Amino acid sequence: MPKIHPTAIIDKEAEIAETVTVGPYCIVGPKVFIDEGTVLGSHVVIHSHTKIGKHCQVYAFASLGAPPQDLKYKGEETWVEIGDNNVIREYVTVNRGTAGGGGVTSIGNNNLLMAYAHVAHDCKIGSHVVLANVATLAGHVEVEDHAIIGGIVAIHQFVRIGAYAILGGHSGTVKDIPPYVMASGPRAKLYGLNLVGLKRHGFSSDVVKALKKAYKTIIHSPMTLKKALDLVKGDSIYNIPEVEYFVKFIEHSKRGVPRQWEKK
C-alpha cells in the first residue's frame, strides 16, 4: 500500500502505486496517476489529469496539473505528463495543456525544476534539463534535452531552446536559441558555443571545431541567413550530425534566432 499521511486528501479517481509516499496536507485530485517510488512532500497539490512517472521527488507547495492560464481554455480535458526521476522543487507550477496546443504539457526524464519555476500550458521539456529558480516558460515553449535555463529567465511563447544550450540568468528571449550555444541578456544574444557543456558531455574536438565553423558562418556573417545556411550545407562539415542538426534547427525556426549582423 502507498504511504499516505492521514492529513492528505486523495480523490477516489486517483491511482497511486504501492510504493508512493504522500506527505502531510497534500491534495491529489481526480484522474491523477502516480507511479512507483515517487514521493510527494508536504502541501503538494496535484489538481487533476496528471501523470507522474517513477521515482520523482515533488517538494512542498508545488502545484501540478492546474488548468492552463489561457483565456481560450473552456474546460477541455487536457493533461500534464511527467516522466521518471524528476526533481520538482518548492512552489514549482506546471499547467495542463490546451486543445489548441495538442492537449498535453510534457516533461521527460531526469530533469531538475528548481524553486518557483513555471511551466505553462503545452510546453514540451525533454530530458536532463535544468530550470533554475524562477525560470518562467510561457505557453508552447519547447526545451530540448540537456538544456540549462538560468534563474529569473523569461521565455516567450512558442520559443524553442535547443539541446545542450545554456541561457544565462536574468535573461529573456523572444527568439529561438539554437542547440549547443550560450545565450544571455534581456533580449538574449548569443555568446558562442557552450564549450564547458559540450566538454562535459563528451563531444569530440572535431565536432566542436565543426560547430565553431558553422556557428561563425551562420551567426556572425553579414550575409543573408539563407546564404549562410546554404554555405554550411555545401561544406564537408555538414556531414557531421551535430552540424546538420544545428543547421536544421535554425532553418526551421519560426521565431528566428539572434544574429550579430541582423538589422535593428
Catalytic residue among 70, 84, 122, 176: 122
Pairing of strands 63-66, 45-46: parallel
Q: Report whether 137 contacts 118 (CB < 8 A).
A: yes
For residue 143, the cross-strand partners are 125, 161
CA neighbor of 218 nearest in space, from 174, 253, 258, 188:
258
DSSP, collapsed to helix, strand or coil, labels residue 218 as helix
Q: Report whether 154 contacts 170 (CB < 8 A).
A: no
Instruction: Provide the 8-state DSSP code for 119.
Output: E
Catalytic residue among 43, 118, 121, 146: 121
Sheet holding 45-46, edge to edge: 9-10, 27-28, 45-46, 63-66, 93-95, 118-119, 136-137, 154-155, 172-173
Give 151: exposed, middle or buried? Use CB within 10 Å, 0-12, 13-18, 19+: middle
**139 flagged as catalytic:** yes
Output the nine-digit C-alpha cell for 195: 564549450
Residue 144 to residue 105: CA distance in whole angstroms: 14
**230 flagged as catalytic:** no
**43 flagged as catalytic:** no
Neighbours of 89 (CB within 10 A): 20
What single string gives the DSSP state of each residue in 25-49?
A: T-EE-TTEEE-TT-EE-TT-EE-SS
Catalytic residue among 139, 150, 162, 197: 139
Active-site residues: which are they? 121-122, 139
